[in-house]
Amino acid sequence: MSSTNDDILTNNLSYIQNLVSVPIKLQSNATTQWGTTIAALSSAIATPTDSTAQTTLINNFFASFNSNTKPLPSTFDGFVSAFSSFVTSNGGTMASGASATIATGLLSDYELWTSSGSDPSTGDWSVISPTPTTADLTTQMKAWFGQFLSTYPYTSTGAVGTSATAFFAAASAQLLITAGIQEGTTLSAAGTQQSLLPRYQTIYKMYFPNGDFATRFNQFYTQEVKEDGFFNPSQAFAEWTSQIQEEFAQSTGVGTLLDQSSLVSGDFGRTLVLDKIFLLITALIGSLQDIAAVQSNRLVTLSKWQNAYTNVIGQLHVFLSSDGTPLSTNKSFDQNAVGTVRATLNDTINTTFKEKLQSFQSLVGDDAKALQSNINQSNDAVSQQANMATAIIQELTTLLSAVNRS
């Protein structure tokens, strides 16, 4: 597991700053660095036997994936299976033991980038006991490769790339060497400036000059393999540094590593949590206010709807003998019959129509009341979150005052 990339390391630079500032071999040799793996993919193809045709098949295989409709597999075995299916569906055949061939090729390049070496007992990894076997390293390689597949950086269009070279260039970026294990050892792919790279042993000796580095490192190595399935010295270096700093602080009885003359070496991750929570609360308040605004707009619509029903009810015509409403074009029409028609219009038809309108008005009113209740709840939620944000600001102010007084 790795610490956050903004953690401060012992040279007063963050992990990312170290990554950028340390001169190391980047992707300029990515093709040759992964040449063994690409050759293994070719060897896994029985037919066609022509190397150009094999290269075309391999490149087309990688180009067939995209993040939207056909993402990369998430495991090494899934990758090999997809490769085999692609080759056979495009007129080729796979060689016997293709999976083992690909694994062997990939392991060789993986060892180069992690500096575990084909014989870890004589290289940078020689401090690890018992020495990782080929089977151990193969298992770690497959675990890392699965992680790489799952987090592959697709292009802006969602594509993997157009070739094996593009695919493995991304692998080079992830396995970039930024740290070594032991002082004085040679790192396979670190370039000529490898002496500038920070080492696990150097960090440990800075805090525990008389400590047992090998024992402590093996504990860390076991922990990393258990948690991630693999150990990559560069990826885990920030976590190692953080753990050693904390252990040193605990050994001195301080509890937290703080430099009284500088804030650089302190670990303020827990304090920054308040800042992150505040930002999240601020975003939440904005969302709640947007919800309340939408609800208020709907309430306005419901209110206008109710008023429309009220206006219609007020416009219902009352039929009176004096209002001049003609109920018949026949002047000699029986006036008693006219009175009966007028009474029917007023007492039956108008009343029924009015009751329906009032019923509809009542339904809209119920919706408006329910919505008003929701608006009140939304406003209460905004107030609660605002109070929490205010409390966090006060807490941060208190912490800042304490820092300024120290």
What DSSP line would sit under 91-150, residue for residue?
A: T-EEPTTHHHHHHHHHHHHHHHHHT--SSGGGSTTTTSSSPPPHHHHHHHHHHHHHHHHH
Report d(CA 179, CA 196) in Å as an integer: 9
In one-letter notation, the amino acid at residue 10 is T
0.75 exceeded by pTM:
no
**Residue 392: predicted pLDDT:** 78
Token output for 29: 């040799």
Token output for 223: 């922990």
Report d(CA 186, CA 204) in Å as an integer: 19
Identify each DSSP E strand in 149-190 by its residue range: none
**Residue 262 carries which DSSP code?**
B
Token output for 243: 């753990």
3-state secondary structure of 180: strand
Contact 36, 135 (CB under 8 A): no
**Residue 98: predicted pLDDT:** 96
**Residue 236: predicted pLDDT:** 92
Residues 6+ apart with CB under 8 A from 141: 76, 103, 106, 107, 110, 230
Nearest Cα to Cα of residue 110 among 230, 219, 193: 230
Nearest Cα to Cα of residue 69 among 157, 171, 166, 169: 157
Nearest Cα to Cα of residue 305 among 357, 345, 351, 355: 357
Contact 313, 358 (CB under 8 A): yes
**Residue 348: predicted pLDDT:** 75
**Residue 30: predicted pLDDT:** 38
Token output for 112: 């180069």
**Residue 232: predicted pLDDT:** 93
Of how many residues is the chain composed?
406
**Residue 264: predicted pLDDT:** 45
Contact 274, 394 (CB under 8 A): no
Report d(CA 120, CA 116) in Å as an integer: 5
**Residue 47 carries which DSSP code?**
E
3-state secondary structure of 46: strand
Tell me phi and psi for residue 180, to 5 degrees: -120, 175
**Residue 43: predicted pLDDT:** 97
Q: What residue spans of 252-350 are helical by DSSP H? A: 269-314, 335-344
Q: Is 93 left (phi over 0), alpha (psi -120 to 50) or beta?
A: beta
Tens of each residue's pLDDT in the chain, 406 residues: 444 444 444 455 554 455 444 444 433 333 457 889 999 999 999 999 999 999 999 999 999 999 989 999 999 999 999 999 999 999 999 999 999 999 999 999 999 888 888 889 988 999 999 999 999 999 999 999 999 999 999 998 999 988 998 899 888 888 888 888 999 888 876 666 677 788 999 999 988 999 999 999 999 999 999 999 999 998 899 899 889 988 888 887 655 554 444 444 455 555 667 677 778 888 888 888 888 888 888 888 888 888 888 888 877 777 766 666 666 555 555 666 666 777 777 777 778 888 888 888 888 888 888 888 888 888 888 888 888 888 877 777 777 777 666 5
